[in-house]
Structure 1
C-alpha cells in the first residue's frame, strides 16, 4: 500500500499569501496558486478556499493537507492577511492569532524555512518599490497547540511554522518505515550514525558540528531502525533526542508515538524511586503534566536542597536507554550494536550524556 505525502504548514501559509497579494494587484480571486517549495526544488499547485478584500488589504484562506500522516493540523484553516505599507523592508512576516510565540523572546514561531518560502515566492510578485506586511493566522492554532509538545520546546499560545522542507512525509504511516530503511541502508558505509526523532534533534546535532550525512531522521520508528542498523553491520548508533521521547526506551517502549504509548511520568517516577528519592518528590513527579514539568520540578528541588536528583535520575535513564536498546536489537536480530544516548531539554540544552553517548559524541564532533 502506498501512502500519500502532503505539504507542511508553511507551504499553505505561503499559498494563502500569494493569493491575497494577487487580489491586491488584480482584484481577482484565485482558486489555486503555484508555490515553489525550494526544498525540494519543485513547484506545486495549492488550492485556495476563499479570497476577499478587507480594509486596506486582502485575506486568503487555504486548508492544511499533510497527506497520509497522523497530523492534528489536517484540514485546519490557514489565513494570510496581506497589507501594503509605505516604508520598511519589502516583505515583513508576522504571526497573528494561533501562531505560537517563542516563550523566551515573544517572537512569532515562524522559522527559517517558512521565512525563506515567503521571501522567495512573494518577492517576484511585488510591484516596483512595493512593500507589504504578511500576517499569518491559524484560527484553531491555540486550541490545537494544547495537544502538541510545542510548549516543551518553548513555543506557547499556538502552533509554529516549523520544518526544513515543503513535503510532509507520512512519518507515522507504516509504509514510511521502508523509506527510512532505504535512507539508513544508503549510509551503511559509516561506522557510526546519529538517530534523531525530529527536526529539533537534527538542528541541534548539526549545530554541534556532527556531519549532516551521518544524521538519520527516524520519526517514531526507533525500534525497527535500530534493528536495521544492526543488520547493515553499522558499529554504533548515537540516539540524540528530546528527553520526553528518548526516556520511553528506558521503559521498553520502542515506537515512541504518543498515540501508541506514553508512560513518561511513570518512567521518571520509577527511576527516581529506584534512586531513593523521597515520597513527596515521587508524588509530584507522578502528577506532572509533562516530562518538561517533571524536569523543572527536579531542578527546583536540587536548587533548594542542594541535591543532585536531575543528574542521578537522568544518568540512570540514559544508561537504561543504552542497555535496553542493545537488548532489543539482540532479541530481534541476534546481532550486537553499540548504542549511546544524549538527551536534551526544551531549550535544546543537553541534560545528560550516557557513558557511551559521551564517547560517541566526542568522536562525531
Structure 2
C-alpha cells in the first residue's frame, strides 16, 4: 500500500493575478465569473483558478476575491482571501491614484499596481509595497493581453488578513512590515512543509556531509561541523555574516529528524542558527517547530523568566504578550528604563536549554554524542544571544 504524494498548490501571486483578471473581465463583460485562466509563466503552463466572488463597486471599478490554496504545505496563508480591485480608465481620462500606496509600481504605461491593506511594506525601499518581481511579471503578462490600446487600469492587491498573519512570520526580521509579501519565483507552491518532503531534506543533508568529507575546506573548520539554518531567512542571514554556503544546511521545521540524521551520518558538531521565535521551541522539547504542531513560545519564555528570578508582575506581563517578539521588546524596554539585563539572562538560559535538549534528543535516539550550539536573532536581524557552545563553533568557521 503506497501513500499519496503530497499535493502541490500555488503561491500567493497566482491568486492575486487570478483576482485581478476576474475583476478586469467583469468590467469588460459584466457577466458572472466563477473561474479564470492564468498563464503561470514559470512554469510555462496555463491553469484554471476558482473565483469566489466578483462584483462591480462603481461604474469603472470592480473587486474580485480568490482563496489561497498552497496544496499540502502547512502554510499560514491557506484559505486566506486574496482581493484585487481594478479601476478601468480610458485614455482621455486622468488616471487616479490611491492613498493605499505612496509608491505605486507602473508595470507598463497601461497598468499601475498598488499594494493595499495587508500587503507588507519594504523598509529599505522607503515603504514600497512588498510585491516582488515574479508577482509583477505575472500580473503584467495576464492583464496586458486583456486591454485594448486606449485602456489603462489601476490594480490594487489587498490581503484583508495579511497584517494579522504577518505577526506569525519573521517578515519584519527581513525588512517587511505591516503585512505579507507577494513573494516567490515560481507559481507552484511545493509541499515543503508536508511530511512527504522530509526525505528530500534528509538526502540534501547526507549529500552535504559527503561533500565535506570528500573535499575538506581549508584551513579551519573540521568536516564534522555544519550550520543548520531554520528556513530561507536563517540561510540568507548566515551567508551575510560570512559563513560559507558549503557549511549551511536548510532544515525547515524538521529539527528533530535532521539532528538525528546528522549524528547518524557522523556529524559531531552542529550550530543552530535561527530566528528566536522558532528556535526557542527546542528549549521546551518541541522538535518540529511548525506552529500547526505545537507552539509554546510564551510558556517557554515565561518559564525561563521565572527560572532566573523575574518578579511576578513582570512574569504576568511577559506571558500576556501576543507574540515572542512583543515579550522580547517588553523586556528590552524594561532593561533600558531600569538599567537591568533581564534579556541577556533570560536568553542565555534559553540558549543553554536549546543546546542541552538538542544534545539529549540526539543521544536518546541514536546513543551518539553530538555537540550542539545555538545562535538566535531577532526581527531586526540582530543577534540576541550566542550560547557558549555556539560561540565556540562560530569561532571555528572561516
Gaps of 5+ in 2: 96-104, 213-222
Rg comparison, structure with higher value: 2
Partner residue of 2:307?
274
Answer yes or no: is the 8 Å Cα contact 2:166–2:180 preserved in 1: no
Partner residue of 2:102?
none
Partner residue of 1:173?
194
Q: Quick check: 221-230 or 62-71, which moved more? A: 62-71
1:110-149 correspondence runs (5 A): 110-111=131-132, 113-115=134-136, 117-118=138-139, 132-141=153-162, 145=165, 148-149=168-169
Deviation (angstroms), 1:133: 3.1
Q: Quick check: 214-223 or 146-155, which moved more? A: 146-155
* Aligned residue among 13, 23, 27 for 1:10: 13
Distance 2:50 2:155 in 1: 17
Partner residue of 2:272?
239
Whether 1:95 aligns to 2:86 is no
In the superposition, relative to structure 1, how do residues 103 and 75 fare at CA in structure 2: closer, same or farther (>3 Å)?
A: same
Distance 1:119 1:329 in 2: 50
Partner residue of 1:300?
333
Partner residue of 2:84?
80
Answer yes or no: is the 8 Å Cα contact 1:321–1:341 preserved in 2: yes
Deviation (angstroms), 1:109: 3.9
Q: Quick check: 198-207 or 122-131, which moved more? A: 122-131
Q: Quick check: 257-266 or 338-347, which moved more? A: 257-266
In the superposition, relative to structure 1, how do residues 306 and 77 fare at CA in structure 2: closer, same or farther (>3 Å)?
A: closer
1:249-260 correspondence runs (5 A): 249-260=282-293
Q: Quick check: 63-72 or 150-159, which moved more? A: 150-159
Distance 1:83 1:213 in 2: 49
Whether 1:196 aligns to 2:229 is yes
Partner residue of 2:47?
45
In the superposition, relative to structure 1, how do residues 228 and 260 fare at CA in structure 2: closer, same or farther (>3 Å)?
A: same
RMSD of aligned alpha carbons: 3.6
Secondary structure of the structure 2 residue equivalent to 1:266 = helix
CA offsets, 1:17-65, max 9 Å, x none? 3455566788896933233354xx4535141415566543554433211
TM-score (norm 2): 0.75
Partner residue of 2:100?
none
Partner residue of 1:343?
376
Answer yes or no: is the 8 Å Cα contact 2:38–2:49 preserved in 1: no
Deviation (angstroms), 1:226: 0.9
Partner residue of 1:322?
355
Distance 1:117 1:209 in 2: 34
Distance 1:43 1:265 in 2: 45
Distance 2:39 2:397 in 1: 37
In the superposition, relative to structure 1, how do residues 163 and 233 fare at CA in structure 2: closer, same or farther (>3 Å)?
A: farther
Partner residue of 1:226?
259
CA offsets, 1:253-279, max 9 Å, x none? 211222333222232233233333344
Deviation (angstroms), 1:221: 1.2
Deviation (angstroms), 1:121: 5.8
Partner residue of 1:108?
129
Distance 2:373 2:165 in 1: 32
In the superposition, relative to structure 1, how do residues 304 and 364 fare at CA in structure 2: closer, same or farther (>3 Å)?
A: same
Deviation (angstroms), 1:343: 0.8
* Aligned residue among 45, 69, 72 for 2:73: 69
CA offsets, 1:299-332, max 9 Å, x none? 1121112122212221222122122212211211
Q: Quick check: 226-235 or 189-198, which moved more? A: 189-198
Whether 1:358 aligns to 2:370 is no
In the superposition, relative to structure 1, how do residues 131 and 226 fare at CA in structure 2: closer, same or farther (>3 Å)?
A: farther
In the superposition, relative to structure 1, how do residues 335 and 160 fare at CA in structure 2: closer, same or farther (>3 Å)?
A: same
Distance 1:170 1:245 in 2: 20
Q: Quick check: 127-136 or 198-207, which moved more? A: 127-136
